[in-house]
Amino acid sequence: MATRRGDTLLFPSPPVITAHAAVGGKKEGESPLAAEFDELSADNRFGQSSWEAAETQLQLRAAQLCLKKARTDGRDVDLLLAGDLQAQCTASGYAARTLGLPFAGVFGACSTMAEALGLGASLCSAGMTGGLLAMTSSHFCAAERQFRTPLSYGAVRTPTAQWTATAAGACLLRPAGQGVGIRAVTFGRVQDYGVRDINNMGAAMAPAAAATLLRYLSDTGSQPGDLDAIYTGDLGHVGSQLFRQLLTRQGLVLKNHVDCGSILYDTARQTVRSGASGPGCSAAVLCGHILPRLERRSQHRVLFIATGALMSQTTFLQKESIPAIAHLVELTAPEAPKGEPT
């Protein structure tokens, strides 16, 4: 059972991520992390008739590959926690229709993967489930059509803009067993610094990431140097710089910060401006890049802080500011088998 310290839940017996999968599209297949995806498609429609249906297919493939890697047909999975950027999280809803699992939709924008992992770990720790699938996705074309302009319009992207990843990630959680442990979760509080530029999500989300990290450090008594890496979700290059500046003002100089949105693409070669974004960005980097490092024990203790901008098409048109959230998950490497060096 978890214990609470401030805003942070601590798991004395950590739930574990026993399997995971990452799926991406064409641009992801051209990225520096291409080899770390379980599956890539050169067809961003994934054989479907619309971008929205393609995103559903993204989620389905991630879920199916995750279950396959876990050697289960899903009958021992009690709950699916999933969300996406589409209105009413329709990509997740349609994926759940096909998977046939009990489904609870979650929405944290680009923070959805950390939110789903945090909720899933809490349910596992409380004995409410023996197996839970946490999943999210995003699709560049679907997101552009919904939040900005149709692709055919050909709008010029600003230097602060980010590229929504066409990607999905899925994790299978269990209360115990062999796998990467979820040692702690800090659910974030909404932060709003008055940013109104929809093409500068990094600036809107950086304060939320800083606030959640500071609360975790205060709650646990940890120091940044205790961790092998502090991964943020999709601040991009601009947001990452602001994130580090905010922490420097609090006397924290991060030397181990890595942003998923800054490493997914090659910004010098791929036209992505400030980097990657979208729920699928951090989910895919988590499943394809971070978790394997922990499994190999090349890293032992890391933070995964996924950030989300909580605006809508309506609030943007009404010139409202962009509130943001960041949820934090502390991940630990599996114990080494007896006789193996740690």
Q: Which residue do the tokens 């890496």 mark?
A: 229
Q: What is the pLDDT of residues 42-71, one digit of tens each?
A: 999 999 999 999 999 999 999 999 999 999
115 located within any domain: yes
What is the torsion angle, in degrees rounded to the nearest 10, for the CA atoms of residue 84, residue 103, residue 187 and residue 318? 40
Query: What is residue 153's predicted lDDT score, i.e. its pLDDT?
Result: 57
Long-range contacts of the stretch 312-316 (C-beta < 8 A, 24+): 313/146, 313/147, 316/147, 316/198
Task: For residues 170 and 227, state if they share a domain.
Answer: no
pLDDT (average), residues 168-185: 98
Mention every residue, 6+ apart, whose C-beta is less than 8 A from residue 243. 206, 209, 210, 232, 235, 257, 259
Q: Examine the fold and report which residue of 153, 174, 195 is the final residue of a domain before the chain moves on.
A: 174
Query: What is residue 105's predicted lDDT score, i.e. its pLDDT?
Result: 97
Sequence length of the chain is: 342
From 231, 265, 276, 278, select the one nearest 111 (Cα to Cα).
Answer: 278
Q: Residue 145: is its pLDDT beyond 80? A: no
Task: For residues 22 and 152, state if they share a domain.
Answer: yes
- Please list the residues that pair with 76 across neighbouring strands: none
Mean residue pLDDT across the chain = 94
Q: What is the pLDDT of residues 22-43, one digit of tens each?
A: 999 999 999 999 999 999 999 9
Instruction: Residue 245: give its domain's CATH number.
Output: 3.40.47.40
Q: Which domain holds residue 189?
A: 180-332
Q: Domain tally for the chain?
A: 2
Q: Residue 176: is its pLDDT beyond 60? A: yes
Task: For residues 202 and 308, state if they share a domain.
Answer: yes
Task: For residues 189 and 169, state if they share a domain.
Answer: no
Task: For residues 49 and 170, state if they share a domain.
Answer: yes
Residue 154 phi, psi (nearest 5): 70, 40
- CB neighbours (10 Å) of residue 194? 8
Q: What is the pLDDT of residues 287-314, one digit of tens each?
A: 999 999 999 999 999 999 999 999 888 8
Q: Examine the fold and report which residue of 174, 195, 225 is the final residue of a domain before the chain moves on.
A: 174
pLDDT (average), residues 76-90: 95
pLDDT (average), residues 202-226: 97
C-alpha to C-alpha distance for 173 and 248, rounded to whole angstroms: 35
- Answer yes or no: are the C-beta atoms of 139 and 166 closer than 8 Å: yes
Identify the band that residue 154 occupies on the pLDDT scale cut at 50, 70 and 90: low
Q: What token pair was written down for 17?
A: 């991520």
Q: Residue 159: is its pLDDT beyond 90? A: no
342 located within any domain: no
User: pTM value?
Assistant: 0.95
Task: For residues 80 and 104, state if they share a domain.
Answer: yes
Q: What is the pLDDT of residues 232-273, one digit of tens each?
A: 999 999 999 999 999 999 999 999 999 999 999 998 888 888
37: alpha, beta or left? (left if phi > 0; alpha if psi -120 to 50): beta
pLDDT (average), residues 152-180: 86
pLDDT (average), residues 106-132: 97
Task: For residues 38 and 125, state if they share a domain.
Answer: yes
